[in-house]
Amino acid sequence: MCTTCGCGSDEVRVTAVGTTDAAGEAHGHVHAPGHHHAHEPDQAHGPDLAHPHEHEDSKRTHTIDLEQRILAKNDRLADQNRQWLARRGITAVNLMSSPGAGKTSLLERTIHDHGAGRPISVVEGDQETIFDATRIREAGAKAVQINTGAGCHLDAPMVRSGLEKLEPDDGELVFLENVGNLVCPALFDLGEARKVVVISVTEGDDKPLKYPHMFAAADLVVVNKTDLLPHVDFDVDRCEKDARSLNPDLVWLPLSVRTGDNLATWYAWLRSL
């Protein structure tokens, strides 16, 4: 169980879509080291032998220590992922957003337009289904689906399992499409070269201040669905100002996947990686 966010699934399913049989069936189960049930020593002995009057401060200390150990282990594995990718000349981009912002649509359009200037493969993260990995395959790229169950983010060991199943070619661009969530993915290094946050104008312009860790960690913020601006109450300038107050160095990129407006700037950014 990941105590940093409360998500709790010991079992993570990794499915190669478009690289296995035609039926797209799941090929076994992968147990992610970062997701496990952690028990303090007195919990193993049952309620009669536990300390009945444990202070709240002590519980908080245990929780913080466990969070630090989980994140430290994840960071070590993320460094291994980074080295694995570097040896192959592969660039990994961690793509994050809330559900429905348009991550998969952006990837589909990018693959179809050959916008990155090199082959693309995708590690897809969702709690359930292989819907998004199937969409990526149909757009023309290799994809592996990671189903996290109750987990609300990808972590470094999940990504390593996905990369081993995906087998990207040397020099490829690999997108790590994270589970739709603006909180926990910001905490977990996956070994990526860049972090991209996608928001949409239908979500409201208050997202940077409501989810500061995500925007502080971003290298690039894509503001999608700008074709809908005449129909929604979204202040692009205010949103950019708030995001830059958290991270002055981020790249700010409004665009519309649907109309193609400003996609050329997105493609230019990808080609610079």
Read off the pLDDT of residues 20-64 as tens digits, 9 standing for 90 and up.
333 333 333 333 333 433 333 333 334 343 444 556 666 666 666
**Residue 61 resides in a domain:** no
**Across 217-225, average pLDDT:** 98
Residue 196 gets which letter from DSSP?
A: E
At a CB cut-off of 8 Å and minimum separation 6, what does 148 contact?
7, 9, 12, 125, 126, 127, 154, 158, 179
Q: Which two tokens stand for residue 217?
A: 């960690």
End-to-end alpha carbon distance in the chain: 35
Query: Residue 249 sits in which domain range?
Result: 71-271
pLDDT on residue 70? 78
Closest C-alpha among 71, 98, 81, 94 to residue 218: 94
CATH of the domain at 123: 3.40.50.300
Is 77 within a domain? yes
- Identify whether the C-beta of residue 37 lies closer than 8 Å to the C-beta of residue 3: no
The answer to whether position 244 is within a domain reads yes
pLDDT value for 214: 98
Residues forming beta bridges with residue 93, ordered by sequence position: 175, 194
**What would the DSSP string read from start to end of 111-137?**
HHTTTTSS-EEEEEEESS-SHHHHHHH
CB crowding 238-261: b at 16 or more within 10 Å, else e: ebbebbeebbeebebbbbbbeeee
In a domain, 93, yes or no: yes
What's the total number of domains in the chain?
1
Residue 8 belongs to some domain of the structure: no
Q: What is the pLDDT of residue 42?
A: 39
What's the confidence (pLDDT) of residue 69?
80
How many residues make up the chain in this entry? 273
Average of pLDDT values for 209-218?
98
Q: Does 23 reside within a domain?
A: no
pLDDT of 202 reads 97
Is the pLDDT at 205 greater than 70? The verdict is yes
Give the Cα separation of 29 and 146 in Å (integer): 10
pTM of the entire predicted model: 0.82
How many Å apart are CA 102 and CA 138, to the nearest integer? 17
Half-sphere exposure of 122 (CA within 13 A, CB side): 31
Per-residue pLDDT tens for 95-114? 999 999 999 999 999 999 99
DSSP per-residue letters across 199-239: EETTS-TTHHHHSHHHHHH-SEEEEE-GGGGGGS---HHHH
Q: Can you tell me the distance from the alpha carbon of 224 to that of 207, in angstroms, rounded to the nearest whole number?
A: 13
Chain segment 106-165, per-residue pLDDT in tens: 999 999 999 999 999 999 999 999 999 999 999 999 999 999 999 999 999 999 999 999
- For residues 104 and 95, what is the distance between their CA atoms, to the nearest angstrom? 9
For residues 182 and 198, give the distance between their C-alpha atoms in angstroms, rounded to a whole number.
Answer: 10
Q: How far apart, in whole angstroms, are the C-alpha atoms of residue 147 and residue 144?
A: 10
User: CA quadruple 127, 64, 157, 93: dihedral positive or negative?
Assistant: positive
Model confidence over 169-195: pLDDT tens digits?
999 999 999 999 999 999 999 999 999
Q: Which tens digit of pLDDT belongs to each residue from 67-94?
A: 688 789 999 999 999 999 999 999 999 9
Q: What mean pLDDT value characterizes the chain?
A: 86
> Do residues 239 and 207 touch, judged by C-beta distance below 8 A?
yes
Does residue 18 belong to any structural domain of this protein?
A: no
Q: What is the pLDDT of residue 25?
A: 37
